[in-house]
């Protein structure tokens, strides 16, 4: 099966692969955020979702946020996503 993220990573020849295998985030028009490679959820409210990554933390801010999927390494957040920051 075709994997869009794997295809992109395989075409990045100039970047050291260890830097692009930590996590992946796709933001679809501020309505759906898909994350691969998280290391655990730390905050879950209607205005903020935060989770750990290998070398830091990601904070997602918005309105009426909710998790529609949570597995051991993927998260899917839906509704009005206004800001995504890495710390």
Q: Give residue-wise pLDDT tens across range 14-70.
A: 666 666 667 889 999 999 999 988 999 999 999 999 999 988 999 999 999 999 888
The SS3 call for residue 15 is coil
Q: What are phi and psi of 17, to 5 degrees?
A: -55, -25
Instruction: Say what the pTM is.
Output: 0.80
Which domains occur in the chain, in start order?
22-86 (2.60.40.2000)
Residue 36 tokens read as 């691969």
């Amino acid at each position: 099966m075709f994997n869009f993220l794997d295809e992109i990573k395989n075409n990045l020849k100039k970047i050291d692969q260890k830097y692009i295998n930590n996590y992946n985030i796709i933001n679809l028009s501020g309505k759906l955020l898909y994350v691969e490679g998280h290391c655990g959820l730390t905050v879950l409210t209607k205005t903020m979702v935060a989770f750990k990554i290998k070398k830091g933390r990601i904070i997602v801010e918005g309105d009426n946020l909710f998790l529609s999927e949570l597995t051991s390494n993927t998260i899917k957040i839906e509704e009005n996503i206004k800001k995504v920051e890495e710390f």
